[in-house]
């Protein structure tokens, strides 16, 4: 069963995908993403794999006969893909060379461009879930891409805020946010020629860093070769920094925010960025989204961002030192 159901209270679609309950817990001695499994090429570097249990499909089933005059359903049209980062089952993103991460960025870019050709797809969401704490059932290094037939609520809210800021000030909200962070500097972790990594003033998570393009661009297809290389470098250093915080593989959700597709031009006021949501608040304590966060969307961060930014800068220095690089 796969369908969309309209949530009238928040005016958003909910993906009903009961077949995903059948996802297996993989045996420890076999992985479908490893060469030799018969499911992927034997000699790939990076690879796109269609999700075996997609919430959205190019040929979705007809919704169940549950709609009423009040409640709406729709076909679960869209695309769910898996992006395999490497054939190495035990590797992590920060362990790859910058050159290898560029190949991942190139594949993301290729899939963004291809999926955007489908006019029924309105938003392309590239993300990585890392660690059992965030629900990962497959430890092989990979990310995912969802092509939604609607613009998700959080993205809608960002777009509305950015549009309102542009109409009132004539400038990009995310550009202004980045400039203020860089001006004051106490939450900036590191930067390179094209990207800056900081812990936002308003961060909901203790270690919820953003990677923001210094150039006012909206999606991966607009980046040139240097920008893609510097994005790869920023991803390597950010994920390596997180693993260096406490000396163990740090769980996170990495979410790439780009402009919608087939939905009008937002280039004046929207801006490419990546948001991280790591569910740890210390080496041995989890940051839960409890009743306030979940039931009211009223977030409480139990830490001071400026202090956590200092921790992250030190972890970044440790990671660079482990790579033989010092700043």
Q: How many helices (H) and strands (E) does the chain have?
A: 6, 12
* Beta strand segments in the chain, E: 2-7, 12-17, 47-50, 73-75, 79-84, 123-130, 142-148, 188-191, 195-198, 210-213, 252-257, 273-277
Is residue 327 in a domain? no
Q: CATH number for the domain including 206?
A: 3.30.428.10
DSSP 155-221: HHHHHHHHHHHHHHHSS-HHHHHHHHHHHH-TTEEEE-SSEEEE--TT-SSTT--EEEESS---SGG
Is residue 69 in a domain? yes
Alpha carbon distance 62, 54 (integer Å): 15
Is residue 89 in a domain? yes
Is residue 28 in a domain? yes
Who has greater pLDDT, 168 or 21?
A: 168
pLDDT above 90: residue 325:
no
Tokens of 2: 């796969």
Domain that includes residue 121, residue range: 2-322
Tell me whether residue 4 is exposed, middle or buried, using C-beta atoms within 10 angstroms of its C-beta: 0 to 12, 13 to 18, 19 or more: buried
pTM (whole model) above 0.85: yes
How much is the mean pLDDT over the chain?
95
What's the residue count for the chain? Answer: 327
Q: What pLDDT score does 137 carry?
A: 84
What number is the average pLDDT over the span 266-270? 98
What is the number of alpha carbons within 13 Å of residue 247 lying toward its C-beta? 1
CB 245 within 8 A of CB 237: no
| pLDDT classification of 130: cutoffs 50, 70, 90 | very high
Is residue 71 in a domain? yes
> What spatial distance separates the first Cα and last Cα of the chain, rounded to whole Å?
53
Is residue 27 in a domain? yes
Q: What is each CA distance from 131 to 59, 119, 162, 172, in whole angstroms?
A: 31, 34, 32, 34
For the chain, what is the domain count? 1
Residues linked to residue 48 through DSSP beta bridges, in sequence order: 83
Is residue 208 in a domain? yes
CB 211 within 8 A of CB 273: yes
pLDDT above 80: residue 327:
no
Q: What pLDDT score does 60 carry?
A: 95
Question: Of 60, 86, 64, 82, nearest to 73 (Cα)?
Answer: 64
CB 28 within 8 A of CB 34: no
Q: What pLDDT score does 20 carry?
A: 55
Q: Kindly list the catalytic residues.
A: 142
Q: For 223-233, give one letter per residue: b (16+ CB within 10 A) or e.
A: beeebbbbbbb
Instruction: Please write the tens of the pLDDT for every residue from 5-56.
Output: 999 999 999 999 986 565 556 677 899 999 999 999 999 999 999 999 999 9
Q: Strands 47-50, 210-213: parallel, antiparallel or unpaired by DSSP? A: unpaired
pLDDT above 90: residue 326:
no
Q: What pLDDT score does 77 carry?
A: 98
């Amino acid at each position: 069963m796969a369908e969309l159901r309209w949530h009238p209270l928040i005016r958003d679609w909910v993906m009903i995908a009961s077949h995903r309950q059948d996802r297996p817990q993989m045996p420890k001695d076999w992985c479908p993403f490893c060469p030799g499994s018969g499911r992927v090429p034997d000699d790939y570097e990076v690879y796109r794999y269609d999700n075996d249990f997609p919430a959205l499909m190019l040929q979705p089933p007809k919704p169940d006969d549950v709609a009423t005059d009040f409640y709406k359903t729709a076909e679960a049209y869209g695309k769910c893909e898996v992006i395999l980062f490497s054939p190495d089952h035990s590797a992590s993103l920060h362990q790859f060379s910058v050159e290898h991460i560029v190949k991942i960025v190139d594949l993301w870019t290729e899939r963004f461009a291809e999926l955007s050709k489908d006019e029924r797809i309105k938003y392309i969401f590239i993300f990585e879930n890392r660690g059992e704490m965030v629900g990962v059932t497959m430890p092989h290094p990979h990310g995912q891409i969802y092509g939604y037939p609607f613009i998700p609520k959080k993205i809608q809210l960002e777009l509305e805020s950015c549009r309102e800021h542009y109409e009132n000030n004539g400038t990009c909200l995310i550009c202004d946010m980045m400039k203020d962070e860089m001006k004051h500097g106490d939450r900036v972790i590191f930067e390179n020629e094209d990207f800056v990594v900081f812990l936002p003033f308003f961060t909901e998570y203790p270690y919820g860093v953003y990677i923001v393009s210094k150039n006012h661009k909206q999606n991966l297809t607009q980046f040139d070769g240097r920008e893609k290389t510097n994005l790869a470098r920023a991803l390597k250093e950010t994920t390596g920094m997180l693993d260096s915080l406490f000396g163990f593989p740090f769980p996170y959700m990495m979410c790439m925010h780009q402009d919608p597709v087939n939905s009008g031009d937002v280039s004046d006021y929207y801006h490419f960025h990546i948001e991280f949501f790591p569910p740890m608040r210390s080496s041995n304590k989890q940051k839960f989204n409890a009743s306030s966060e979940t039931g009211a969307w009223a977030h409480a961060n139990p830490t001071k961002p400026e202090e956590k930014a200092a921790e992250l800068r030190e972890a970044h220095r440790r990671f660079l030192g482990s790579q033989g690089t010092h700043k």
